[in-house]
Chain A
Amino acid sequence: MSSQATKQNPGLPATNGSDAVIASLHAQGVEVIFGMVGGSIISVYDALHRDGNLRHVIVGHEQGGAHMAEGYARATGKPGVVMTTSGPGATNLVTGLADAMMDSTPIVAITGQVVSRLLGNDAFQEADIRGITMPITKHNYLITSADQVAPTMAEAFTIALSGRPGPVLVDIPRDVSEAPTEILTSDQHRLAPRLVNVPLGHPMQVQRALNLIAESRQPVILAGAGVIHSDACGELRALAELLQIPVATTLLGLGCFASDHPLSLRMPGMHGTGYANLALHNSDVILCVGSRLDDRVTGRLERFAPNAKLIHVDVDPSEISKCLPALVPIVGDAKQVLSALLQGARAWERRPDFSAWHKVIATWKQRYPLGYVQRDGVIKPQQAIESLNGLLDDEDIVVTGVGQHQMFTAQYYNFRRPRTFITSGGLGTMGFGLPAAIGAKLAKPERRVLCVDGDGSFLMNIQELCTAVRYRVPVVIMVLKNSHLGMVRQWQGMFFDQRYAQTQLAPPPYDQVAQAFGALGRKVERPEDLLPALRWAMAAAEDNQLPVVLDVKVDPDEAVLPMVPAGGANVDFIPCRLED
């Protein structure tokens, strides 16, 4: 290494592996680290302290830190960073890493590890976090020498972001973080070139896709999170509008195409709209972009879209023909492929006429609208979500936990912009909402961030209220309190003869819990109080720079409809109940 690369600073101890970690984070443009210190990571925190230029947020629990990193990443597209000590600090990350893996969220986790000579000896706070997280990270590392810190960190960030994003874990034994090493200049934190390979989509397959669409009569676009990851929402909209193809958006794809666009079918699948499921079922061509066609989207596979020819665009080849065989497989970045399709379609002399198809879809929209029955004096959860539509701006961010409230949000909120919906899709992690909202708000302080949560879900990471108060993160949390684990209760009611096994909760008054943490809180029990309370909460959060919790009492008997019973075919959905 050249002498210029060495940080000459006689007033400080010689630079070590920990300084290399901090230098790497600077080189990657990291703005904030979510973490908690401990014995094995103490030296890295010492370097962080000496550096003094990196924002660090102390979390209440490492799981919360992982979800904050996810929230940050989902709001920005940049990798979120979480840092913990060894043993329990590291194992507490497991749920967050698994969540990020399932939802292709780029995060980098840095964990301390016991000193190398104790590895494998069941030392105090030793856990084989590399072994534990192998199936739930895109890649992970155990660094064995301080000189390896900088190249490993560079590779870790590249892997987290490249292709299909995902979580990467870097485990650093204490002796490595304390061993002397030289600090690289910023241009030496280069990326490993073999990993930065964006497949563009094979032109022949793109042509075959165009041919299929040109010959189709009843096409549907199914857009997933890949469209958001590759920043391809403009291309998607242009293609849909040019050819007048209806668009269904998966849970994680919500926001990539405006929910209230005339071509929108909203969300398909288990709790999707009847018309999205009917349109997919009756389609002759599906252009699936950046969705892995998971079971909550397709329902019973053998009966999913029986007559459709599938064009499957994904940057990850392993997703193509994993669940459903693709007639036209296109391995490529969604933006590149959609641009190529758009270019091809623009050159057509005659565009296909799908007006008959739109008429059929219009009848389905009329016959199976989303809806629910209002009852005097009772707040319906759907109503609580709908009231957000006029209240939030398009760019404001909505975050949820997992459960009924999440599905109501996906159904009833009108998403119009990418990266405005942050939710745990694949893993379905209760407790995701509050920490993810904190991460999103810290990433986008200029946006309002509203977390819709359930009373079961909220409790699972409620300790992060402390974090939000301490760092004055003005998020609004609307807890839809039905005093039950509502989603499971719904299944018990529908499929288990109303045997409500262990789904009744005894939630505390969350407004008072919030106040005890130093946040603001208010109870909402009547429908007419809902909007004023939400307006107050939005204003109070910003005015006081504090989190605000609304404890909203909702009808516990409300079920999420439409619904496709588990294992059933999407076309056999149970529609919304529009009258008593």
Chain B
Amino acid sequence: MNQLNPLAVLVRNEPGVLARVAGLLARRGFNIHSLAVGETDDPQVSRMSIFISGDDAVREQAVKQLRRLVDVIRVSDLTDTPRVERGLALIKVNAPRERRSEIIELANIFRAAITHVDNATMVLEVSGNRNKIEAMIGMMRPFGILEMARTGQIVMLRGQAALAPGQSEFPDPSYLTEAVA
């Protein structure tokens, strides 16, 4: 699988902003692998975590195009930066009584929570980065997955650096230096 590149985007929390961002990326030919959006501590600002795939030039275009949107406050390409990525999956599996303990054992390994159990099924809740969730899904497949729901991954920088709304519409001077190197 190609490397996926995370973009963190702060947007004005206004109706239609999701359509603007998704529509822009789609019509300019960027492939969105996942997108997660939620309010930040400032209710006027939402944060989107968008995973696309592309080389440096493609991502640079994606970032610049997003910055053209009036509702977009900041965009940061978090590729090659230390970061935390998390997503959540709910997995409903076949769980007849005789296989229950086996599933519980696997759930424990993945630190998945068992959010529902009955005579025939279990619902597992697993969180983590994409690889971990994929691995968990792989382990559950032999039992028979009845249904599954996943969130997009959310992403955050490690350390003191933080993506916060700044004063300027073009806060990130990276475009000034990209060709210098």
Q: Does B57 contact A (CB under 8 A)?
A: yes
Find B70's partner among A159, A202, A320 (CB 8 Å cutoff).
Answer: A159
A39 to chain B, nearest CB (A): 24
Tell me if A205 and B70 are in contact (CB < 8 A).
no
Q: Does B79 contact A (CB under 8 A)?
A: no
Q: Which residue of B lies closest to A322 (CB)?
A: B61
Given known contacts A134-B20, A317-B64, A318-B67, A331 and B168 CB-to-CB distance under 8 angstroms: no
Q: Which residues of B, 24-71, contact A by the 8 Å Cβ criterion?
A: 24, 27, 57, 60-61, 64-65, 67-71
A370 to chain B, nearest CB (A): 36
Tell me if B61 and A325 are in contact (CB < 8 A).
no
Given known contacts A134-B23, A194-B169, A331-B170, A318 and B65 CB-to-CB distance under 8 angstroms: yes
Tell me if A318 and B178 are in contact (CB < 8 A).
no
Q: Which residue of B lies closest to A312 (CB)?
A: B179
Contacts of B178 in A (CB 8 A): 321, 329
Q: Does A88 contact B (CB under 8 A)?
A: no
A204, B176: Cα distance in complex, Å: 9
Number of A-B contacts (CB under 8 A): 63
User: How many chain B residues have a CB neighbour from A under 8 Å?
Assistant: 27
Contacts of B27 in A (CB 8 A): 135
Tell me if B169 and A195 are in contact (CB < 8 A).
yes
Q: Does B108 contact A (CB under 8 A)?
A: no
Tell me if B179 and A327 are in contact (CB < 8 A).
yes
Contact with B along A154-177 (1 / 0, CB 8 A): 000001000000000000000000
A142, B14: Cα distance in complex, Å: 11
Tell me if A199 and B170 are in contact (CB < 8 A).
yes
Q: Does A266 contact B (CB under 8 A)?
A: no
A409, B20: Cα distance in complex, Å: 38
Tell me if B16 and A205 are in contact (CB < 8 A).
no
Q: Does B2 contact A (CB under 8 A)?
A: no
Q: Which residue of B lies closest to A158 (CB)?
A: B70
Q: Which residues of A, 283-337, contact B by the 8 Å Cβ criterion?
A: 316-318, 320-322, 325-329, 331
Q: Does A131 contact B (CB under 8 A)?
A: yes
Q: Does A523 contact B (CB under 8 A)?
A: no
B17 to chain A, nearest CB (A): 11
Find B68's partner among A195, A318, A326, A327 (CB 8 Å cutoff).
Answer: A318
A337 to chain B, nearest CB (A): 13
B12 to chain A, nearest CB (A): 10
Contacts of B24 in A (CB 8 A): 135
A131, B23: Cα distance in complex, Å: 10
Tell me if A205 and B176 are in contact (CB < 8 A).
yes
Contacts of B65 in A (CB 8 A): 318
Contacts of A316 in B (CB 8 A): 68
Tell me if B175 and A320 are in contact (CB < 8 A).
yes
Contacts of A205 in B (CB 8 A): 176
B111 to chain A, nearest CB (A): 42
Contacts of B135 in A (CB 8 A): none
Contacts of A197 in B (CB 8 A): 168-170
Q: Does A138 contact B (CB under 8 A)?
A: yes
Contacts of A204 in B (CB 8 A): 176
Q: Does B160 contact A (CB under 8 A)?
A: no
Q: Which residues of B, 54-104, contact A by the 8 Å Cβ criterion?
A: 57, 60-61, 64-65, 67-71
Q: Which residues of B, 128-181, contact A by the 8 Å Cβ criterion?
A: 167-170, 173, 175-176, 178-180
A326, B61: Cα distance in complex, Å: 13
Q: Which residue of B lies closest to A201 (CB)?
A: B176
User: How many chain A residues have a CB neighbour from B under 8 Å?
Assistant: 28
Q: Which residue of B lies closest to A318 (CB)?
A: B64
Contact with B along A129-144 (1 / 0, CB 8 A): 0110011001100100
Tell me if B16 and A325 are in contact (CB < 8 A).
no
Tell me if B57 and A317 are in contact (CB < 8 A).
no
Tell me if B57 and A325 are in contact (CB < 8 A).
yes
A321, B70: Cα distance in complex, Å: 21
Tell me if B170 and A138 are in contact (CB < 8 A).
no
Q: Does B19 contact A (CB under 8 A)?
A: yes
Contacts of A130 in B (CB 8 A): 16
Tell me if A321 and B57 are in contact (CB < 8 A).
yes
Tell me if A329 and B57 are in contact (CB < 8 A).
no
Contacts of A317 in B (CB 8 A): 64, 67, 170, 175
A119 to chain B, nearest CB (A): 11
A18, B158: Cα distance in complex, Å: 50
A252 to chain B, nearest CB (A): 19
Contacts of B168 in A (CB 8 A): 194, 197
Tell me if B19 and A138 are in contact (CB < 8 A).
no
A248 to chain B, nearest CB (A): 23
Q: Which residue of A lies closest to B68 (CB)?
A: A318
Q: Which residue of A lies closest to B178 (CB)?
A: A329
Tell me if A138 and B70 are in contact (CB < 8 A).
yes
B174 to chain A, nearest CB (A): 10
Given known contacts A194-B167, A202-B176, A329-B176, A321 and B60 CB-to-CB distance under 8 angstroms: yes
Q: Which residue of B lies closest to A138 (CB)?
A: B70
Contacts of A194 in B (CB 8 A): 167-169
A109 to chain B, nearest CB (A): 16
Find B19's partner among A134, A139, A202 (CB 8 Å cutoff).
Answer: A134
Given known contacts A138-B70, A194-B167, A131 and B19 CB-to-CB distance under 8 angstroms: yes
B168 to chain A, nearest CB (A): 6
Contacts of A195 in B (CB 8 A): 70, 169
Q: Which 3 pairs across A and B sit closest by C-beta, in order of nearness?
A: A318-B64, A139-B70, A202-B176
By a beta-carbon cutoff of 8 Å, the part of chain A in contact with chain B is 130-131, 134-135, 138-139, 142, 159, 194-195, 197, 199, 202, 204-205, 208, 316-318, 320-322, 325-329, 331
Contacts A138-B68, A195-B70, A317-B64 aside, 14 further interface pairs with beta carbons under 8 A come to A134-B20, A134-B23, A139-B70, A139-B71, A142-B15, A199-B170, A202-B176, A204-B176, A316-B68, A317-B170, A318-B64, A321-B60, A329-B178, A331-B175
Chosen A-B contacts, 15 in total, with CB atoms closer than 8 Å, are A130-B16, A134-B20, A135-B24, A135-B27, A139-B70, A139-B71, A142-B15, A194-B167, A195-B70, A202-B176, A316-B68, A317-B67, A318-B61, A318-B65, A331-B170
